Amino acid sequence: MGKAPRIWIAIEPTDMRLGMDGLCAKVQHFLLADPYGGEWFVFRNKPGNRMKLLGYDGIGFWMHYRRLDKGTFVWPGGSDTMMEMSYSQFHLLTQGQDWRMVRRVVRPVPSLI
Give domain status of residue 93, yes or no.
yes
11 lies in which domain range? Answer: 7-101
**Edge-to-edge, what's the strand order for the sheet holding 61-67?**
61-67, 50-56, 40-44, 7-10, 82-85
Give domain status of residue 106, yes or no.
no
Give domain status of residue 66, yes or no.
yes
The DSSP bridge partners found for residue 50 are 67
Give domain status of residue 1, yes or no.
no
- Tens-level pLDDT at each residue, the chain (113 residues): 567 899 999 999 999 999 999 999 999 999 999 999 999 999 999 999 999 999 999 999 999 999 999 999 999 988 889 999 999 899 999 998 999 887 655 566 666 65
Count of domains forming the chain: 1
Give domain status of residue 81, yes or no.
yes
pTM for the model stands at: 0.84
